Amino acid sequence: MSFDHLQDQIRAMKNPTVVGLDPKPEYVPPHILQACYEEFGANLAGAVHAVYRFNCGLMDALSDIVPAVKPQSAYYERLGWRGMKMLERTIAYAKEKGYFVIADVKRGDIGSTAQAYSEAWLGKTQIGEGAFAAFGADCVTVNGYMGSDAVNPFLDTCRAEDKCLFVLVKTSNPSSGELQDRMAGDRLVYQVMGELTQRLGGTAGKYGFTPAGAVVGATYPSDLQELRKRLEQTFFLVPGYGAQGGTAADVRYAFDKHGHGAIVNSSRGIMCAWQKTGKNGEDYQEAARNAAIAMRDDIRQFVTIA
C-alpha cells in the first residue's frame, strides 16, 4: 500500500501513529515466555513462539485504533531463520488485521542487490514461471549512504507494486549528528539526503506525497520543522517520541497544514506499558491499548487531521 492508503487509514482512525513490534526478550510478558518455553523449549524455537504470540496479542488489542505496525528486523534476525519465519507470519497477521506494515530493515545496498532486497521486502521473487512474495510488507526503511543507486531499485518496486519507503534522513539517536549534521557545502549532510530523497521520489499521490518518505527523529524538533518546510512532498516517519524524549509538542512540526504527511512511532511505550501497571504482564493487551489511546490523544492536542 502507498502513502495514499496510509494517509487514508490515519484519517479514518484520526491517529497518526505506528506501533513498533520490536520484541526484545524483556518486553515479552513473563507468562507468555514461560508458556512457550514449556511447550517448545527454552531455546530459539520457544523464543520465536513467544514473540509471535505477543505480537498477535498486541495486534488484536490495537487494530481498531492504530493504523500501522513497524516490526524491527533485528529482533527477529537474532532468533535466526526461525525468527525470520515468525517475522513473515507477523507481517501476514498484520495484513489480515488491516494494518499498514512498515518493515524497519534499514537496508542499503546497490543495483541488483538493492533490487533483491526490494523483492524480498516489498515485491515478489521470480522463480521459474512463478512469482513468490517473501516478506510482503507495504513499506520499508532504507539507508541511502551509498546514494541514489541504493534507493532507486526500491522505488522501482514501489511504483510497480503501489508501495512506499522511508529513507533515513535525520535520525533520532544521540550520535546522529556525527555525520548527519556536518556542513556539506552550503547545506548539512542530512539536508542533502533529504533533498536527494524528495528528488528521487518523483510523482506525488493524491495527498501530495511521493513514494519516497524520510525518517526524521522527534528528538531534534527544529530540524524536523525546517525539513517539513523544505520537503513538502515527503512523508515523514518520526521515531523518538516517548522513551527517547520527543514530545507531542515536538512531533507536531512533522505534519503539514492539513495534519497530513507524518506518522509517529512508539515501540517501548506501547509494548512495555504492562510493566507499569503492577500486574506482571497479565494485562498487557489492556495496558497497550490504554497507552496507544493516550499517545493518540496526546498528539491530537497539537495536530488536527483534516
- Residues forming the active site: 106
Nearer to a copy of itself, 60 or 96 (CB): 96
Nearer to a copy of itself, 178 or 297 (CB): 178
If we measure between CA atoms, which residue out of 102, 103, 94, 24 comes closest to residue 59?
Answer: 94
User: The cell 485504533 sits on which residue?
Assistant: 65
Nearer to a copy of itself, 116 or 305 (CB): 116
Least Å distance, CB 123 to a copy of itself, is 9
Distance CA 59, CA 236 (A): 23
| Residue 173 interacts with a copy of itself (CB under 8 A): yes or no | yes
Contact yes or no for 139/100 (Cβ under 8 A): yes
Helices 148-161 and 111-121: angle between axes, nearest 10 degrees: 40
| Residue 258 interacts with a copy of itself (CB under 8 A): yes or no | no
Least Å distance, CB 107 to a copy of itself, is 7
Least Å distance, CB 42 to a copy of itself, is 4
Nearer to a copy of itself, 65 or 116 (CB): 116
Least Å distance, CB 64 to a copy of itself, is 29
| Residue 304 interacts with a copy of itself (CB under 8 A): yes or no | no
Question: How many CB atoms are located within 10 Å of the residue 244 CB?
Answer: 18
Could you give the string, one character per residue 202-221, with x where binding to a copy of itself holds by CB under 8 A and - elsewhere? Answer: --------------------
| Residue 91 interacts with a copy of itself (CB under 8 A): yes or no | no
| Residue 177 interacts with a copy of itself (CB under 8 A): yes or no | yes
Distance CA 111, CA 146 (A): 10
Nearer to a copy of itself, 169 or 264 (CB): 169
Positions in 98-117 near a copy of itself (CB under 8 A): 106-114, 116-117
Positions in 268-297 near a copy of itself (CB under 8 A): none
Question: How many CB atoms are located within 10 Å of the residue 81 CB?
Answer: 11
Could you give the string, one character per residue 37-76, with x where binding to a copy of itself holds by CB under 8 A and - elsewhere? Answer: x----xxx-xx------------------------x-xx-
Least Å distance, CB 165 to a copy of itself, is 15
**Which of 84, 92, 293, 305: binder of a copy of itself (CB under 8 A)?**
84
| Residue 134 interacts with a copy of itself (CB under 8 A): yes or no | yes
Least Å distance, CB 297 to a copy of itself, is 28
Positions in 184-203 near a copy of itself (CB under 8 A): 184-185, 189, 192-193, 196
